[in-house]
Amino acid sequence: MSRFYFSCIGCGATFPLTENIYSCSRCGDLIQAEVLIDEVREEVDFRALKKQPISVWRYAPLLPILNTSKLITLHEGGTGLHHCRRLGSLIGLEHLYVKNEGENPTGSFKDRGMTVGISRALEVGARSVICASTGNTAASLAAYGAKAGLKRIVLIPSGKIAYGKLAQAIVYGAQIVQIKGNFDEALNIVFKICSRNKEVYLLNSVNPFRIEGQKTLAYEVCDQLNRHPDYFIIPVGNAGNISAAWKGFKEYYNFDQIKAKPKMVGVQAEGAAPIAEAVAKKSLSITPVNKPETVATAIRIGAPVSWKKALRAVYESHGTALTVSDDEILEAQSLLARLEGLFVEPASAAPIAALKKLKEEDYLSSGDFVVCVATGHGLKDPDVISRLYEKPVEVDAEVSSIERLLGFAEEARVHSI
């Protein structure tokens, strides 16, 4: 007997895990996997679990995969939780941590969900997998699909994904379709393709198995900190990841592994902020943004499919959501790199940009345990760097002129010898 089942986030209908579904057959809303809390508390030996190397599959007993002998893994998860002392002291936070999801195999948090999603695709006998993507899901699906020997198809908004991500999808051998439209339009097309062609397995974050993998982000942070964070600050695009992390924290709390849950703080770019706008109005629904725009292409999404779960995460946790400008995002990217040695892509710098505002407003106190999620690696988006930063100087290969350029005075050198 599985300790998992599906439930609808809208009407609460339940379905067995053996059904191959992404949405509720009664009301059409999203479904999610649910775990039987009491059974986990009785049956899972958390002490033994925590002796396993930290990774997504350390948490296998808490993940709804029926046959763990055929997992498709590239060793995802187990990413660093970096105590950022220099950045923290600049902002006035003693316990500031960055969970660096860029350390995953394809350089983003998507790998957590993809290892579970692709493993499930094999369980249900799929032969091809598909997603719409702002880039990182495409890269991850392409890699894990390759490892599984599946045909992989990705739909991307033409000209709007960072080059590093496109390069990954190309090299991993995905069939790439660039559409003349934005992410929201690409996702709608993917939904239609999947409803008409049952043999294609959908791997966007409406897929509950993606969310299950991604919830391990929360488990890991608690295990690494040895406590719950007070605040968990995360960029929001299609809103799957904030929903997944909140699910993970709630479960870890219910399994008695943490004493309290963090406040969830969602961060969006000013030009693509339907969730933050809804939270500002204390609204229970969102107004989609028709033409989302931001330098943080990963979160350039106007109609987040998991908006309902994201609003629940913010309201249930008594957290908040806010916007940051593109300039603030880019400044934060530079600050994190220069003070902490962490190079993250623009979307991942959004929580860092938000820190300053939240501290100035006294939303955060200096002793709080604050975790920011850096969702993807900086090398994903090299174009933004070459556009914004000055090119390095070029000089003749000649020692003394280079020393002059570097400011090494002749006199000082003689003395030091």
Ligand X SMILES: Cc1ncc(COP(=O)(O)O)c(C=O)c1O
Which option in Zn ion, ligand X, none does residue 174 bind, with CB closer than 5 to 8 A by kind? Answer: none
Q: Which of 64, 240, 302, 351 binds ligand X (CB under 6 A)?
A: 240
Applying the rule CB under 6 A, the residues between 170 and 209 that interact with ligand X are 205
Between 44 and 190, whose beta carbon lies closer to ligand X?
190
238 binds ligand X (CB under 6 A): yes
26 binds, among ligand X, Zn ion, none (CB under 5 to 8 A by kind): Zn ion
Name the minimum Å distance from CB 393 to ligand X: 32
- Contact between 54 and 81 (Cβ < 8 Å): no
> Should residue 27 be labelled a site residue for Zn ion when binding is judged by CB under 5 A?
yes
Report the DSSP beta bridge partners of residue 259. none
283: phi then psi, degrees, rounded to nearest 5: -85, 155
Cβ count near 105 (within 10 Å): 18
Q: Of 9 and 275, which CB lies nearer to Zn ion in the complex structure?
A: 9
User: Please, what is the minimum distance in Å from the beta carbon of residue 6 to Zn ion?
Assistant: 10
Residue 259 half-sphere exposure, CB side, CA atoms within 13 Å? Answer: 4
Q: How far is the CB of 366 from ligand X (least distance, A)?
A: 27
Question: Is residue 11 within the footprint of Zn ion (CB under 5 A)?
Answer: yes
Sole residue written with tokens 């496109």:
166
Alpha-carbon torsion, ordered 132, 137, 143, 149, to 10 deg: -40
Does residue 388 touch Zn ion according to CB under 5 A? Answer: no
Does 108 contact ligand X by CB under 6 A? yes
- Residue 241's binding partner among Zn ion, ligand X, none (Cβ under 5 to 8 angstroms by kind) is ligand X
> Of 164 and 240, which CB lies nearer to ligand X in the complex structure?
240
CB 140 within 8 A of CB 380: no
Nearer to ligand X, 162 or 200 (CB): 162
Q: Which of 347, 358, 370, 372 binds ligand X (CB under 6 A)?
A: 347
Binding-site partner at residue 8 among Zn ion, ligand X, none, CB < 5 to 8 Å by type: Zn ion
Q: Which stretch, 73-81, 148-156, 238-246, 387-395, contacts ligand X (CB under 6 A)?
A: 238-246
When asked if residue 274 is in the footprint of ligand X (CB under 6 A), the reply is: no
CB nearer to ligand X: give 3 or 110: 110
Out of Zn ion, ligand X, none, what residue 10 binds, judged by CB under 5 to 8 A for its kind, is Zn ion
Q: Kindly tell me which of 298 and 342 has the beta carbon lying closer to ligand X.
A: 298
* Contact footprint for ligand X (CB under 6 A): 108, 134, 136-137, 205, 235-241, 298-299, 345, 347-348, 375-376
Q: Which residues bind Zn ion (CB under 5 A)?
A: 8, 10-11, 13, 24, 26-27, 29
